Structure 1
Amino acid sequence: MLQNTLVDVYGECGQVDHAARMFELIEDKDAISWTSMISSCINNGYAVEARSHSGLVEEGKIFLEIMKCKYQLEPWQEHYVCLVDLLGRVNRLEEAYQFVKNMAVEPAAEVWCALLGACRVHSNEELGEKVAKKLLELNPKNPGNHVLVSNLFAAESRWNDVRVVRMRMKADGLKKTPGCSWMEVGNKIHTFIARDKAHPESHKIYQKLAQIIEKLENEGGYVAQTKLVLHNVREEEKVEMLHGHSERLAIAYGLLSTSDDTPIRITKNLRICEDCHAFCKLVSRLYQRELVVRDASRFHCFQDGFCSCADLW
């Protein structure tokens, strides 16, 4: 059905309000209609509307059982990810770990990633190390998993472990994918790579970015989280590396080239880092602009200093 497709497309573009309006127009809503609307809500962080996340653990568990017992439907890995995420958000990490270990099917990397992310948020070092080991065993050739594990160790200032992970990556010939962001302005796609100056308006972009950083520091109390930089370099260089992240270049260009009443929409190939997440929240508040960033795992809709993910992603 065309309307179901449109609900899905609007959700994939971060336009949940449009998806909801299209959903309401569907007279005979079927399983595909509801799945499309639920997916749109979840992917864009509207957890309560999707009856998922935000601590609604028991409801999530009930829905999973209904799928299996009443409708004889085998849950997808995505459903298991949702439940692990639910448990992780309310810091029921041991329960989440036992759930994953006892799944009827082999947990996919995405399930372990969701649990690892929860360990990072709640600073559960012991469980995080177990999950990190399992994730690397499951997919040893995926550089993204190595980076995720490395970030976990870095957040705990475990620099020896960071070095071990990076040495293993080097030995296996694995390279971290450079951060890249895209945005559409004037019917043209503009590409930004971390710390790159290939854009024809690069000089203006970096000037604007410097102004943004100054405003965020002076009016928003922004301080760069240099612990997230996994390189043994001087503090000043770490700050420079953070400021050169691709989504920040895209934001600067968006503020330069779009009108004040339009959202800035960005797509990024990697998961947004904690520092850029904080950066985006401050930009949305101090510049009164809606930012929609689609990273490798989900949409982040920033408005008035808040993100739709509630800082858990």
Structure 2
Amino acid sequence: MEASFSSSSLMLVTQAVTILEKCKTISELRQIHAQMIKTNLVSNTFAASKLVSFCCLTGDLDHALSVFHRIQNPNPFIYFTLINCFTESSNPLESVYLYAHMLTCLEDWKGIEFSLPSVLKACGRLEAFEEGQQVHGQICKTRLLFDPFVANSVVRMYLEFGQVGFARRAFDKMPERDVISWNSLITGYLRAGEIELARELFDEMPERDLVSYNAMIDGYGKFGKCELAEEIFGMADHKDVKTWTSMISAYVRNHYPKKALDMFGEMLCLGVRPDAPALVSVLSAIADLGFVEEGKWIHAYISTKKLEMKTGFIGSALIDMYAKCGHIENAYHVFRSISHNRNVGDWNSMISGLAIHGLGTEALELFHDMEGLKIEPDEITFLGLLGACSHGGLVDEGRYCFKIMQEKYNIVPKVQHYGCIIDLLSRAGYLEDALGVLRNMPFEPDVLAWKAILSASMKHENVVIGENAALQAIELAPEDSSCYVLLSNIYAKTGRWDDVAKVRSRMKQRRVGKIPGCSSILVRGKVHVFVVGKAIDEKFTREVLSKLDDVVSRLKLEGYQPDLTQVLLDVEVEGKESLLSVHSEKMALAFGLTNTSHGAPIHIVKNLRVCRDCHSFMKLVSRVYNRRIVIRDQNRFHHFENGFCSCKDYW
């Protein structure tokens, strides 16, 4: 048919192709298609293939398929174009059908190698293991294994199935391996958690590229092996932004925020421009540290580079950073500033931020705004809402949220959601109701659920429930010191000192160390850390203790009486008062009063829950010294001002 085309027909083909290349809309495409039908150009394989290609570029795959079915003798290139597009679409199964059709229609299999990587990828996406093996068998019968693109696609397909053994066998049988082959298998091993096998392969590689180093750094980071990630980082002669980002992320993921921040600074000094993932990671590190000045600098950098519009994650990270640094107003300002480009992650960050500041009512109002804008909440939204209700003592509202997440939004609660509702009920004193939820969960309760019961039992002085919860928690997490400490505290509150001694003896036998309370404060760009009775930098200890004595004396004139029930040790009254007076948050406060200007707010971060005596102490200091004090403890924020706390004494 095509051989009979005259020179004028060839001119028509050229004109049609030229017009197609200038085509911009679907409607224009349909007009050109109609004209090609009238002039019989659709029977020209070259012209038809261009029409199919343009349909694929515009995403109109149904139209592309309808054109394809009218081509009398489609060539391998047309098949490749369609197979490749359907592989990346929501209907990858069509790629497999087209591949099967191609094998039956082509006189020989010449040219099918271009489509094979896409077909193998489609099989991987569909989890079509048997079909993938059949394609692999066809490849083995030909010499196509010598094509590195095809051979590498076989390895990647098996890795997509999670079949690491099959991938390794395919890798071992490859006639030639390039760096992509090695990197594919290393990445597959890392994804499967086979860290040692990945390292063995990495060490065997005849040559490595940046992908090799970045994959290993990222893999080690995800599995908590920061020292090994550092080793690989040091081995890389050349580093790109992903290398730096992978190492920063490894530090953040494994709770080394200071190292992450230091590495980010080093990266900037070397002139490496951070990408969005690097900025999100470093904002997460700043959020962990709890000090905002570096975060404000990052925010300014992001605004200067106008990166907010390039990724939805930066806005969420900024909101989260400001909220966790105690600046909820700044978080809300960022939230408002991205009003035209918000995603569900931004709403979740804002709701969770309000939750940790005890602003439960405001979090619920924000959720209602979210519903009004028809933004579909997800499971993280409800974790934030349930946490907000828990911190605010909003029991009825929390029950309602737990109900609608299932009935209205068809979200199946996970163990974390059950943990939140258990925490909500037990904090409010509904211990039996909380136990009922725990017993009726569709899966075994985790240690956090039992610890919520345990902590509330301590607060509400229910020894029986608390003792059982502690024993359950210890069985699930025998190395978690907080379970033993809370059980010991329950016994101490009721004067059961023999049982206190038994708990401590068990901790000693199991080599479980108690996490020491520490508090930190940022003054003039430097973080100062305090533990009970001393500063980590000991040159400040005497100064701080002296100031603390002055503060306690002044507060006693205002009616302060130390809450000796917070000292759960069998010591005399004088000893209890002495121990109370040097809690780490009080040490940090005294340092802040001495080293910041009069009237300046004081921000403190504590690694454990603030005790009731320190809470009363902070309220009184905020009034007597006219200071705004913000403390972030293990669970939430406390904003002390004019003798009151934002938590309304519910925490």
TM over 0.5: yes
Q: What do you get for the CA RMSD once the two structures are aligned?
A: 2.1
Shift of 1:143: 1.0
Please list, as runs of the form range in 1=range in 2, the aligned pairs for 1:276-295 lying within 5 A after superposition.
276-295=614-633
Please list, as runs of the form range in 1=range in 2, the aligned pairs for 1:100-249 lying within 5 A after superposition.
100-196=438-534, 198-219=537-558, 221-249=559-587
2:608, 2:634 within 8 Å by CA — same for their partners in 1? Answer: yes
Tell me the residue number matched to 2:336: 24
Question: How many residues are aligned here?
Answer: 312
Q: 1:127 to 1:179 in 2, by over 3 A?
A: same
Shift of 1:37: 1.0
1:162, 1:230 within 8 Å by CA — same for their partners in 2? Answer: no
1:154, 1:227 within 8 Å by CA — same for their partners in 2? Answer: no
Structure 1, 290-299 or 149-158: larger mean CA deviation? 149-158
- Structure 2 residue identity aligned to 1:7: I
2:418, 2:437 within 8 Å by CA — same for their partners in 1? Answer: no
TM-score (norm 1): 0.91
- Structure 1 residue identity aligned to 2:548: L
1:192, 1:199 within 8 Å by CA — same for their partners in 2? Answer: no
Within the candidate set 237, 249, 252, 2:590 is matched to: 252
Q: Could you tell me how far apart the structure 2 residues matched to 1:263 and 1:38 are?
A: 25
SS at match of 1:301: strand
Q: Does 1:309 align with 2:647?
A: yes
- Structure 1 residue identity aligned to 2:530: F
Q: Deviation per CA, 1:247-293, whole angstroms, max 9, x where unpaired?
A: 11100000001123322111112222222222222212222212111
2:607, 2:634 within 8 Å by CA — same for their partners in 1? Answer: yes
SS at match of 2:630: strand
Q: Deviation per CA, 1:152-176, whole angstroms, max 9, x where unpaired?
A: 2223333232222112111211221
Q: Could you tell me how far apart the structure 2 residues matched to 1:105 and 1:222 are?
A: 48
2:497, 2:570 within 8 Å by CA — same for their partners in 1? Answer: no
Structure 1, 151-160 or 270-279: larger mean CA deviation? 151-160
Q: Deviation per CA, 1:14-43, whole angstroms, max 9, x where unpaired?
A: 111111222222224332122111110111
Tell me the residue number matched to 2:325: 13
Shift of 1:76: 4.6
2:492, 2:569 within 8 Å by CA — same for their partners in 1? Answer: no
Within the candidate set 35, 47, 56, 2:360 is matched to: 47
Shift of 1:78: 4.2
Bigger relative contact order (CA 8 A; separation at least 6): 1
Q: 1:286 to 1:95 in 2, by over 3 A?
A: same
Q: 1:243 to 1:77 in 2, by over 3 A?
A: farther
Q: Could you tell me how far apart the structure 2 residues matched to 1:256 and 1:131 are?
A: 43
Structure 1, 75-84 or 119-128: larger mean CA deviation? 75-84
- Structure 2 residue identity aligned to 1:230: L
Q: Could you tell me how far apart the structure 1 residues matched to 2:514 and 2:576 are?
A: 17
Please list, as runs of the form range in 1=range in 2, the aligned pairs for 1:255-266 lying within 5 A after superposition.
255-266=593-604
Higher strand proportion: 1
Q: 1:103 to 1:158 in 2, by over 3 A?
A: same
Structure 2: state its 5+ residue gaps.
1-311, 365-388
SS at match of 2:597: coil
**Which structure has the greater CA radius of gyration?**
2
Q: Could you tell me how far apart the structure 1 residues matched to 2:428 and 2:576 are?
A: 32
- Structure 2 residue identity aligned to 1:20: Y
2:523, 2:596 within 8 Å by CA — same for their partners in 1? Answer: yes
1:11, 1:19 within 8 Å by CA — same for their partners in 2? Answer: yes
Q: Could you tell me how far apart the structure 2 residues matched to 1:82 and 1:288 are?
A: 36
2:360, 2:394 within 8 Å by CA — same for their partners in 1? Answer: no
SS at match of 1:182: strand
Shift of 1:212: 0.7
Q: Could you tell me how far apart the structure 2 residues matched to 1:111 and 1:299 are?
A: 21
Shift of 1:148: 1.8
Q: 1:182 to 1:172 in 2, by over 3 A?
A: same
Tell me the residue number matched to 1:35: 348
Higher helix proportion: 2
- Structure 2 residue identity aligned to 1:208: K
TM-score (norm 2): 0.46
Tell me the residue number matched to 1:272: 610
SS at match of 1:176: coil
1:283, 1:305 within 8 Å by CA — same for their partners in 2? Answer: yes
Of all paired residues, the percent bearing the same amino acid is 41
Q: Could you tell me how far apart the structure 2 residues matched to 1:162 and 1:99 are?
A: 30
Shift of 1:214: 0.8
Shift of 1:8: 0.9
Structure 1: state its 5+ residue gaps.
none
Q: Deviation per CA, 1:185-205, whole angstroms, max 9, x where unpaired?
A: 001111112112543232221
- Structure 1 residue identity aligned to 2:338: I
Q: Deviation per CA, 1:114-148, whole angstroms, max 9, x where unpaired?
A: 22222222222332222222222221211122112
SS at match of 1:293: strand
Shift of 1:101: 1.9
- Structure 2 residue identity aligned to 1:169: M
